[in-house]
Amino acid sequence: MKYDFLIVGSGLFGAIFAYEMNKKGKKCLVIEKRNHIGGNVYTENVEGINVHKYGAHIFHTSNKKVWDYINQFAEFNRYTNSPVANYKGELYNLPFNMNTFYQMWGVKTPDEAQSKIEEQKRDSKIENPCNLEEQAISLVGRDIYEKLVEGYTEKQWGRKCSELPAFIIKRLPVRFTFDNNYFNDSYQGIPIGGYTGIIEKMLEGIDVKLNTDFFDDKEKYLNIADKILFTGMIDQYFDYCYGELEYRGLEFKEEILNTNNYQGNAVVNYTDSETPYTRIIEHKHFEILSNQLGTDSDSDKTVITKEYPKTWQKGEEAYYPINDDKNSSLFKKYQELAQKEENVIFGGRLGMYQYFDMWQVIDEVLKLVDSLDD
């Protein structure tokens, strides 16, 4: 059977694209190499708890069009992301805010906090930050850098902070208010029932094949549809002809515990360098409000996941693109090849070699759909 579109990958990017094309009357086939739909937003019910199988996915955006779009597929709760940092048993609020500064230094006013940061910045003699270490010290001072940034970041990226670009830390909010809300966005929440239900609704009525790897029969799939949306690794599509792009890998170790409340928060970051994992996710806190814990409706068990960053190897799942100068230059070469492909569109974090928040994925797909109408 000939299709209008072959969509390689059933993650958020591929599923939205398939949904929009199906609405327009286009015949679509979605193929997915994993044994489930949803890509990295996949959630699975374990002991009555919706478990984020590939790390915490907290939806947040200030784009009302995007928020309204995703809400047609699920009702969202009012979850607010307020992580806690654990440094060798010391607990600190995140993101960096007046609570953090009080916990670190005992300061009680924004002026006192800013004076402490300026003092540490002066002592470090940093004028023009040129790497992540210098940028972090300029933002929050050396004490917070050494306890809450350095170990966590070096575990995450597998490199010294002095070797990482400054822009990575610029994504972290710093506030001189007592506000533990990690995101500044107007809209935030978790879909009630998990993300998998959203993807199922998007792919309703569309042909989907699981356990199907595009590269097992590339020639067949290149000719099965008039056009292809490819959301896999762009360098793999071109047979690594210029070499491999680099990624960070992740390993998830899930545990079911016989307690109804393990850590009192959905996300606890372990920021020392000795602890091998970067964070522990306790999934029930995404959907059960703290005042409900211990009620009859609450599970007497909990599910936690420890996240271990690791060096990515070819053949493993790639998670974070490493957008340094070397890899950005290599990606541009693949991008030039991609632009010459008449019937193939490259999308998503692997196809575009770019880290996306979920709202950005939706925004990118809707722009793509609009461009195809032109």
Catalytic, out of 248, 320, 324, 363: 248
Cα 203–Cα 59–Cα 327 angle in degrees, nearest 5: 85
Amino acid at site 151: G
Q: Does 78 participate in catalysis according to the annotation?
A: no
**Beta strands 344-346; 279-282: pairing state:** unpaired
Catalytic: 34?
A: no
Return the bridge partners of 174, or none: 96
d(CA 224, CA 220): 6
Residue 191 contacts residue 76 (beta carbons within 8 Å): yes
**Distance between CA atoms of 323 and 206, rounded to whole angstroms?**
35
| 248 given a catalytic annotation | yes
| 175 in active site | yes
H helices of the chain, in order, are 12-23, 64-71, 98-105, 110-124, 132-144, 150-157, 196-202, 218-222, 234-237, 325-339, 348-351, 358-373
Q: Which residue has the tokens 């996915």?
A: 57
Alpha carbons 109 and 137: distance in angstroms, whole number: 20
Q: Is 317 a catalytic residue?
A: no
- Is residue 150 annotated as part of the catalytic site, yes or no? no
Catalytic, out of 87, 175, 270, 319 = 175
SS (H, E, C) 136-158: HHHHHHHHHHHHHHHHHHHHHHC
Q: Point out the catalytic residue in the list 20, 133, 154, 307.
A: 307
- Catalytic residue (one of 69, 102, 242, 355): 355
Active site residue 246: no
Residue 61, judged by CB atoms within 10 A of its CB (0-12, 13-18, 19+), counts as buried
Q: Which one from 20, 279, 349, 353 is the annotated catalytic residue?
A: 279
Q: Which of 75, 78, 171, 219 is the catalytic position?
A: 171
| Cα–Cα distance, 328 to 139 (Å, whole number) | 26
Catalytically active residues, by annotation:
171, 175, 248, 279, 307, 355, 357
